[in-house]
């Protein structure tokens, strides 16, 4: 009966090896990500210690990731909408 089969027996040796390799790679990347996050936290703390506004730095980083034309289009729309509601 298939329900009585050992779960390990369901995967052949090649699939087991592939699965183990994938899991190990994910674990290494998670460790790397944690290290990078700690480094980022240190850099933001340094910026704050030097008197910079971290919230604005995060916003600038996000904006720099955006294509210049797309960013300009978004800024124009924000200006238009703010003007339309009397905020500018």
Averaged pLDDT of the chain: 92
> Per residue in 62-84, pLDDT tens?
999 999 999 999 999 999 999 99
Angle at 63 between CA 34 and CA 28, to 5 degrees: 15
Mean pLDDT of 28-50: 98
pLDDT at 1: 47
Residue of 32, 52, 36 whose CA lies nearest to 44:
52
Q: Does 2 score more than 60 pLDDT? A: no
> Per residue in 9-20, pLDDT tens?
677 888 999 999
Q: Hey, where are the domains in the chain?
A: 1-42, 53-88
């Amino acid at each position: 009966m298939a329900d009585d089969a050992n779960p390990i027996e369901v995967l052949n040796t090649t699939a087991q090896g592939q699965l183990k390799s994938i899991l190990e790679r994910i674990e290494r990347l998670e460790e790397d990500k944690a290290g990078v996050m700690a480094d980022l936290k240190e850099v933001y703390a340094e910026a704050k210690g030097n008197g910079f506004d971290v919230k604005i730095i995060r916003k600038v980083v996000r904006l720099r990731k955006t294509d210049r034309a797309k960013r300009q289009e978004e800024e124009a729309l924000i200006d238009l909408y703010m003007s339309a509601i009397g905020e500018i």
